[in-house]
Amino acid sequence: MQVSENTENKEFKPLIVAFCCNWCSYAGADLAGTSRLSYPAEVKIIRVPCSCRVNPMFILKAFEKGADGVIMCGCHPGDCHYSTGNYYARRRMTLLFSMLDYLGIDRARTRVEWVSAAEGQKFSLVMNDFAKTVTELGENIKLGDLRCKKQQD
Amino acid sequence: MQKTAGLIKKRVLELLADGTVTKVLGWKEGDFIYDVTPASFLSAQEADGLVYSSFCGANLSKYLISECKALTEGKILALLKPCDTYSFNQLLTEHRIDRDKVYVIGVGCKGMLDIEKIKAMGIKGITKVIDNGKELDIKTIYGSKTCKREDALLEKCLCCKSKNFKAFDEIIDPEPETKEEKADRFAKVSELEAMTAEERYAFWQEQLSKCIRCNACRNVCPACSCMKCVFDNPVSGVSSKANTDSFEEKMFHIIRAFHVAGRCTDCGECSRVCPQNIPLHLLNRKFIKDINELYGEYQAGEEVGSRAPLADFTFDDAEPSVVNERGNS
Amino acid sequence: MTYSYFPGCTLKTKAKDLDDFGKKSAEALGITLEEVQDWQCCGAVYPLAADEIATKLSSVRALAYAKEKSQPLVTICSACHHVIKRVNNDMQSKEDIRTRVNNYLGLDEAYNGETEVIHYLEMLRDKIGFDELKKKVVNPLKGRKIAAYYGCMLLRPNKEMQFDDPENPTIMEDFIRAIGAEPILYAFRNECCGGYMTMNDKALASKMADKVVNSAKIKGAGEIITACPLCLYNLKENSKGDLPVYYFTELLAEALGVK
Amino acid sequence: MSEDIIAISGINPRQCMKCGKCSATCPAFEEMDIHPHQFASMVVEGRIDELLASESIWKCLSCFACVERCPRSVEPAKLIEAVRVSVLRERGGSFLSPDEIPAKLDPELPSQAIAAAFRKYRK
Amino acid sequence: MQRIGVFVCWCGSNIAATVDVDAVVEAVKNEPGVCHAQNYQYMCSEAGQGLIKNAIKEHNLTGIVVCSCSPRMHEATFRKTAEQAGLNPYMVEIANIREHCSWIHKDKKEATEKAVILARAAIAKVNLNTPLRPGESMVTKRALVIGGGIAGIQSALDIADAGYPVDIVEKSPTIGGKMAQLDKTFPTLDCAACILTPKMVEAAQHPNINIYSYSEVEAVTGFVGNFDVKIKKKARFVDEKKCTGCAVCTAKCPSRKGGNEFNCNLDNRGAIYIPFAQAVPNVACIDSTRCIHFKTGKCGICEKSCSAGAVNFDQKDEIIEQKYGAIVVATGFQISDVTKFDEFQYTKHPDVITSLELERIMNAAGPTKGTLLRMSNKEHPKDIVFIQCVGSRGNTCRDKTYCSKICCMYTAKHAMLIREKYPDVNVHVFYIDVRTPGKNFDEFYRRAVEQYNVDYIKGMVGKVWENEEGRLTVQGVDLLSNRRIMLDTDMVVLAAAIEPSEGVRNIATMLTASIDTNDFLTEAHPKLRPVESPTAGVFLSGVCQGPKDIPETVSQAGAAAVKVVGLLAKDKLVTSPCTANANELMCNGCSTCERVCPYGAIDYIDKEVNDHGKREVRRIARVNSALCHGCGACTVACPSGAMDLQGFSNRQIMAEVDAICK
């Protein structure tokens, strides 16, 4: 194995919170487990009934408490167990992420993926990729400190 | 302006006298002529203090929530400028006020003045402002000064939504729709969007660090009218009343903007009242711009009962990744 | 009422009747038709290719003229109506065409499809009303059995022309009733007469014209009216059938007593 | 080549369900060597050369009957026009030359016919 | 403070090989609220469950966390375990340390650390759990069937046979629907009336079935198990109890200018009429828009001729209010408008007809008494042309995008019947594709081609016109031989697209049942719940859900009936307690939540609240827990946070976030 070029980040293990809807994505994560498709242990899953249960406040709270990346997974549009939940979630997350981007916060720290109960492979690939992206971004400083007293003198 | 004020006062007195209304929501002058604040008047005598001047920027619609609740008989008269009627409609859509309890007089508006802008021109000790529509003749204790009217307009008036009233029972002195090109209300948002992430971050870091959590923005906002705000609610998990943690203002302002997204009429009151001059309306306008671009033009309060974009969807809405695709870093 | 008026090339030459009677009748109906200044031939065929620009310019000039006058643009020849109406739709809805045409023409004010384009028959139906027209008729054409020939270009494609039901139109029949005659319905009133083929394949044009005329004849028509000079020519000259063919304006003028 | 025809016509020929309504309705069907319904599949298959050489493109009357009646919005007249336009642009030439005109004229022929013929048959 | 027990499962070596279960127990022991922690080889086994039960009793636990496999696997198991030990089942949380941890991580240290964090998150959540009780609602043991065609009749019969009362609401004066208009049925060619009318009679005589004919559903409120329905019984001006169906009045009625809908307006009926001889109920009905008495106040011949004295011109519309536990929608279909396709001259020539009109012409009770005649001159035809897919399978404004499904088969039937009865008639069928999936269907079609010599032409018809001889010329194309077809014929029959009945949009709105872009009712799941609407308690029967033939309709009607019976058999409905709930002191009454709720579970009431001593009437959201499925869309739409989801509350999820990010 080659030595990682990025020695600075070598030790850095990001903290990633994944919100997964009960019916598709949580089941997709279960399938990844059953199929022994690994992804980094930094990813911690929180089960919600539907992607439309994910309140932007949860995501900001996670960042406030030190998360380096937050990903939300739900059923593919059109497949929502509650028929329309993920459509609302899609709008909410699009606007929220756009706002975070507008504030200059790394938009790569947030992501939405649609993962079905049959897509264990996709779940694993997505988590690997997201963890890689967040690792490369390094520690989440901006979200932790948008306010900077020293500029206010 | 004085003519309009006269007409308004005359009509208000008539409506009070014939019992059509039992209370009037308007503006009164404070210690200085530009120090105009919202006020309510219960009698003809009180209504003597009613003013309508170029400093009546304040949007009175939000007060109707509590006034409607408190009202026991008759109607409450509200003086609404064209842009205020959007907020009024939005509150009707959300069932926060009772249309039957309100008598709306739409009052014509040429655009309201921003005293901060006038002061910033170095004009102090103002005693009187004569507004001839194009220029302001400002009497001060140091003598007369003039300035161009458009240089002293409130931000919201520079890109006036409309001179038409979206709700009214009667109209006094309406203004014709302006022919001139209005300022692009998204100009600053676009400018920020064109910056690099680092520049944007620096901009907001500077702006939001000024926040003192006085809650003026929240208290004035017609869309921020919750019985109990999540930030005041200990069980919400995000309650925070003071700036104890660096992240909290950011969370507060993002969540506040998010909660009013699709409901904000872009009345600009948040920025007008901010004692720290944080351009909070730029957060709201970002949401409005995104909504318009992604989900089609939408103006909250344009019509009563319209479905807010966040309570709506289409099957082929943009994916959240659109943020990555169109942004620059 | 005053409208801008686009006569088109044929109305100044072979189809003078269509033009003359149209103008006289309009006058009798209290309408002023102002001919578009320096109009140019519309090209007679709408360029179907999505990327054609040059062939649309002359229509846009006429449209922009009417816009300047704030008047609807009245056409009378089916082909002109078809071309100008569709070019106008393009100017309204196709951004690339709009941009390129405006860039090319460099008008004082960009033209974005603001003008309302109406055919003379639509003017009768929508602006005057057939009931009103009926009142102004002095010589009702009683007892005449008239077959309306729509042809292709007024009706199709319906999603653009929005003229009438493309398979079951009624506007010309209503017109015939208004001038006191009896309309004859027949299957070929909205089928092509083959007029475009008249130069290349006279036999075909003639075969197709026969079909139309025969179809009308079977149903008992005594005469045919049309709005298209080429159809008129083809039905008249190339068909072996012996039904007289007139411009609708001629009969209108007759009914209004201005012929 | 197929892409060009699709671009010029603005039509997606894959929407065709091969019902034949266009050919059933076409007044010039008998005069054509390649029939309207064949245009859609031949464009999809890339058989553009055959279409370019076809007599049909000069027989189409632009009567829009197929445009109006096509249930799948394939509107073959637009495909035919696109092929025809390609020929005219390619050749820079024409199907009809001005020299041929006088012989074809008769005193009653409306100028519309000449204008149309020029528009349709030559660049 | 909760008293929490944590139980870490080894799952044999599935978990224990990668996660140090002892370390997990050690790590969580001192978490807030935890007063017991242990691990065991198989927590889900009898012994493992016993261990949990003992611990609950011994340590007086108020909540438990099981660190094991996915909750999708054993959450129900451990909830039952807890319940058996006297603990509320909703005080159980699962930390998924198998699928989400041990099975995907190799490094034991890493996996153990993650397992501890997942356990902590579950502990944090259970600290905030509250005992939840499933909701219960009563079930009104009566079903409503909207529509009295074969679908509605079959559903009603099946429900009634199971012992439950059923009401059928039918908008026309008789039940029977479209099937009553058919002559023969494919692929067996048995007569429609012979198989339908016995069912109609059975429905009429069934002690559990009540038919509201000439009636419409006016309003629906309530929810699964408890629908309140208003039915408008339109005045038919004939006393149903007195009328004997003798039909003397219908023959004597002098107003005979209006078309007879039952015969597709090919002939006329009186203003007082019985749609057809076998109508159920066999009761006359006066069409007041055509009746001379209603226009002039005179006439009254029917009244005079009725020996039973059943005619009553003063009858008024009547509103019936009834409670139902379940509703079956069986509103069926209609023939789409073919007048838009006038290249076929349908509006111009009487010999151009639709297939349903042909059914009536072929039927012995039809306008020609079953003799195949041209409607223009009542002469026997020599040639007939059928045109398929008229208005189906297109994407323009005059077409339906879908395949109407039944046309290929009924056209084969018509062709065969005509050739059978009149061998001298030539039959041509213009088709795009012949679609015959179904038992004995393709064989049936092949018989038409092979035995009956029906001329199938692959291609469409472009134009139909009347020729010199007064016959019809059909101009089409044969795509297989690539040539033009010109046929002279006597009749043209259009296989018009079918579409949902006109009133279905209105009914769907009343029921808050969703419909698709074609106005067909949407099923709860296209494969797994095909006869249920997403709205609980509403079931779909027949063509209202999508094009179907009779056998399919009958099977779906039976399936819908079983679902209804399954619902009505319950005394009470148990509803998941994980539903949304509005805090009335925080609710703004803004209606945002109502707008995003896919189940129509939220409404608003004006309620007096006591907000810390301040009493006032407020508009407040109310969640009907019987309708709420617990998706949580409303909780995020609510700006004040008044709306929360039990079992997944804002605080619980925030606590999980906190625990993970600690």
**Among the partner residues E105, E596, E631, nearest to A38 by beta-carbon distance:** E105
Q: Note whether D112 contacts C44, CB cutoff 8 Å.
A: yes
pLDDT score for D123: 46
At residue E575, the 3 state secondary structure works out as strand
Tokens for E293? 């008495």
C 132-191: CB under 8 A from D: 152-153, 155-158, 166-167, 191
B289 touching A (Cβ < 8 Å): no
Write down all domains in chain A, each with its CATH number in brackets: 12-145 (3.40.50)
Contacts of C161 (CB under 8 A, 6+ apart): C82, C85, C86, C154, C155
Domains contained in chain D, CATH given: 2-92 (1.10.1060.10), 96-123 (no CATH)
Tell me where in chain C the CATH 3.40.50.11810 domain(s) lie.
137-256
Say if residue D97's pLDDT is above 80.
no
Question: Can you tell me the distance from the alpha carbon of C89 to that of C113, in angstroms, rounded to the nearest whole number?
Answer: 7
For chains D and A, having 3+ Cβ pairs within 8 Å is answered no
One-letter amino acid at E245 equals: G
Three state DSSP letters for E64-98: EEEEECCHHHHHHHHHHHHHHCCCCHHHEEEEECH
pLDDT of residue A2: 40
Under the banding of pLDDT at 50, 70 and 90, the label for residue E427 is: very high
Pick from A1-10, B224-233, C141-150, E509-518 the range whose average pLDDT is largest.
Answer: C141-150
CA separation for the pair E504, E540 (Å, rounded):
12
**Cβ-based burial of A6 (10 A; exposed 0-12, middle 13-18, buried ≥19):** exposed
> 3-state class of B137 per DSSP?
strand
DSSP E57: H
Q: What integer is the mean pLDDT of E111-132? A: 96
User: Which residue in the block uniquely carries the two structure tokens 């067909």?
Assistant: E520
* Interface list for C 38-57 with D (CB within 8 A): 41, 43-52, 55
Average pLDDT over residues E113-127: 96
Chain A touching partners, 3 or more CB pairs below 8 A: B, E
Q: Are residues B26 and B167 in the same domain?
A: yes
Helix (H), strand (E) at residue B145: strand B143-148
Question: Where do we find the tokens 């691990």?
Answer: E39
Chains D and B touch (3+ CB pairs under 8 A): no
Which chain D residue's Cα is nearest to E398? D71
Q: Looking at chain D, how many residues does it have?
A: 123
The residue-averaged pLDDT of B184-207 equals 90
**B179 in a domain, yes or no?**
no
Which residues fall within 8 angstroms of residue B153, CB to CB, at 6 or more apart?
B111, B112, B113, B114, B117
C interface test, pick of E348, E390, E395 with most C CB neighbours within 10 Å: E348
Residue from the list D18, D25, D73 with its beta carbon closest to the beta carbon of E479: D18
The set of residues, in sequence order, having a beta carbon less than 8 Å from that of D98 and lying 6+ positions away, is: none
d(Cα E344, Cα D27) in Å, to the nearest integer? 16
Supply the pLDDT for residue D118.
Answer: 66
CA distance E51 to E46: 9
Distance from the Cα of E341 to chain C's closest Cα (Å) equals 7
Neighbouring chains to E with at least 3 Cβ pairs closer than 8 Å? A, B, C, D
- Flag if E463 and C191 touch (Cβ within 8 Å): yes
Set out the domains of chain E in order of their start, with CATH numbers: 4-127 (3.40.50), 139-233+317-332+501-575 (3.50.50.60), 235-315 (3.30.70), 334-499 (3.50.50.60), 576-646 (3.30.70.3270)
Q: Cβ contact (<8 Å) for A77 and B315?
A: yes
Q: E648: which chain A residues are within 8 Å (Cβ-Cβ)?
A: 48-49, 53
CB E80 within 8 A of CB E94: no
**A51 contacts chain E (CB < 8 A):** no
| ipTM for the complex shown | 0.65
Q: Which CATH class is domain C137-256?
A: alpha beta
Label residue B10 exposed, middle or buried (CB < 10 Å: 0-12, 13-18, 19+).
Answer: exposed
pLDDT 10s digits, E550-583 = 999 999 999 999 999 999 999 998 888 999 999 9
User: Is B177 part of a structural domain of the chain?
Assistant: no
What residues of E are in the D interface, CB distance below 8 Å?
A: 343, 389, 393-396, 399, 432, 458-463, 475-477, 479, 482, 484-485
On whether both B292 and B199 belong to a single domain, the answer is yes
Q: Are C167 and E397 an interchain contact pair (Cβ–Cβ within 8 Å)?
A: no
With an 8 Å Cβ cutoff, are D110 and C43 in contact? no
Query: CATH 3.30.360.10: does it fit domain C2-120?
Result: no
Cβ within 8 Å, pair A63-B247: yes
Q: What is the pLDDT of residues E436-492, one digit of tens each?
A: 999 999 999 999 999 999 999 999 999 999 998 989 999 999 999 999 999 999 999
Q: How far apart are CA B160 and CA E607, in angstroms?
A: 40
Confidence at D96, pLDDT banded by 50, 70, 90: low
CB-CB neighbors (< 8 A) of C187 in chain E: 345, 348, 463-466
Q: Which residues sit opposite E222 in a β-bridge?
A: E227
Among C19, C40, C46, C48, the strongest candidate for a mutation testing the D interface, having the largest count of D CBs within 10 A, is: C48
Clarify whether residues B106 and B239 are in a common domain: no
Task: Output phi, psi for C120, to 5 deg.
Answer: -50, -40
Residues 17-46 of chain A whose Cβ lies under 8 A from any Cβ of chain B: none
Distances, alpha carbon E469 to alpha carbons C209, C211, E310, E465, E490, in Å: 20, 15, 52, 11, 10
Alpha-carbon separation of residue E68 from A23, C248, E130, E519 (angstroms): 19, 87, 22, 47
Residues of E in contact with D25 (CB under 8 A): 343, 462-463, 475
| Overall average pLDDT of the B261-286 stretch | 93
Contacts of C199 (CB under 8 A, 6+ apart): D96, D101, D104, D109, D113, D114, D117
Q: pLDDT per residue over B180-191, tens digit each?
A: 777 889 999 999
Taking only the tens place, the pLDDT of each residue in C101-112 is 998 888 888 899
Q: Which residue in the set C10, C49, C198 is minimally distant from D81, CB to CB?
A: C49
Task: Tell me how close the Cα of E653 comes to any Cα of chain A, in angstroms.
Answer: 7
Q: Please tell me the distance in Å from D120's CA to the nearest CA on chain E.
A: 25
Find the CB nearest A91 among B230, B237, B309. Answer: B309
In C, minimum Cα distance to E474 occurs at C187
Is residue B288 in a domain? Answer: yes
Residue B224 lies in a domain: yes
Ordered alpha helix ranges (H), chain C: 9-12, 16-28, 57-69, 78-93, 95-105, 120-122, 130-136, 158-161, 171-178, 202-218, 229-233, 248-256
Mark yes or no for CB contact E604/B95 under 8 Å. Answer: yes
Q: What is the C-alpha separation between C100 and C115, in angstroms, rounded?
A: 19
Q: Is residue A125 within 8 angstroms of chain E, CB to CB?
A: no
The one-letter amino acid code at A62 reads A
Tell me, yes or no, if A123 comes closer than 8 A to chain E by beta carbon: no
pLDDT of residue E614: 86
Q: Is B171 on the interface with A (CB under 8 A)?
A: no
Region E496-502 average pLDDT: 96
C184 to C147, C149, E18, E266, E572: CA distances (angstroms)? 5, 10, 90, 24, 70
Under 8 Å between Cβ of A126 and A40? no
Residue E348 has pLDDT above 50, yes or no: yes
Residues B208-227 have a mean pLDDT of 89
C215-252 confidence digits (pLDDT tens): 999 999 999 999 999 999 999 988 887 899 999 999 99
Q: Are chains B and A in touch, 3+ Cβ pairs below 8 Å?
A: yes
Q: What is the pTM of this model?
A: 0.71
Q: Is the Cα dihedral E425, E426, E429, E430 positive or negative? A: negative
Contacts of E611 in chain B (CB under 8 A): 227
D52–chain C nearest CA distance, Å: 15
Q: Which percentage of chain E shows pLDDT scores above 70? A: 100
Among candidate residues E140, E236, E191, E123, the one with its CA nearest the CA of residue E417? E191
Distance of alpha carbon A138 from alpha carbon B307, whole angstroms: 41
| Neighbouring C-beta atoms of residue B110, cutoff 10 Å | 18
| pLDDT for residue A148 | 38
Q: Does the CB of D106 have a partner CB in chain C at under 8 Å?
A: yes
Greatest Cα pair distance in chain D? 46
pLDDT on residue B11: 93
CB contact under 8 A, C188 and E347: no
The pLDDT of residue E73 is above 70: yes
What is the model's pLDDT at position B193? 92
The answer to whether the peptide bond before residue C157 is cis (omega within 30 degrees of 0) is yes
Amino acid at D69: R
pLDDT at A152: 36
> The domain containing residue B233 runs over which residues?
187-326
**Does residue B121 sit in the same domain as residue B67?**
no
Q: DSSP string covering A48-102, please?
A: ES-GGG--HHHHHHHHHTT-SEEEEEEPPTT--TTSSHHHHHHHHHHHHHHHHHH
Contact D62 C152 (CB under 8 A): yes
pLDDT digits (tens, 9 = 90+) for E324-337: 999 999 999 999 99
Residues of C in contact with D64 (CB under 8 A): 152-153, 156-157
CB nearest to C167's CB, from E343, E467, E468: E343
Tokens standing for residue E624: 């009907």
CB atoms within 10 A of CB D20: 28
**Interval D2-23 mean pLDDT:** 93
Q: Is A151 in Cβ contact with B205 (below 8 Å)? A: yes
Distance from CA of B200 to the nearest CA of E (A): 27
Mapped onto helix, strand or coil, the DSSP state of residue A10 is coil
pLDDT at A146 over 80: no
Q: How many domains does chain B have?
A: 3
Q: Are E589 and B226 in contact (CB under 8 A)?
A: no
Residues 6+ apart with CB under 8 A from A124: A32, A35, A37, A38, A39, E104
Compute how many other C-beta atoms are within 10 angstroms of the C-beta atom of residue E22.
12
The dihedral built from the CA positions of residue B219, B224, B227 and B228, taken in this order, carries a sign that is negative
Calpha distance E186→B82 (Å, rounded): 67
Whether residue B202 and residue A104 make contact (CB cut-off 8 A), yes or no, is yes
- Binding partners of C (≥3 Cβ pairs within 8 A): D, E
In tens, the pLDDT along D17-49 reads 999 999 999 999 999 999 999 999 999 999 999
pLDDT computed for residue E458 by the predictor: 97
- Is D96 within 8 Å of chain C by CB? yes
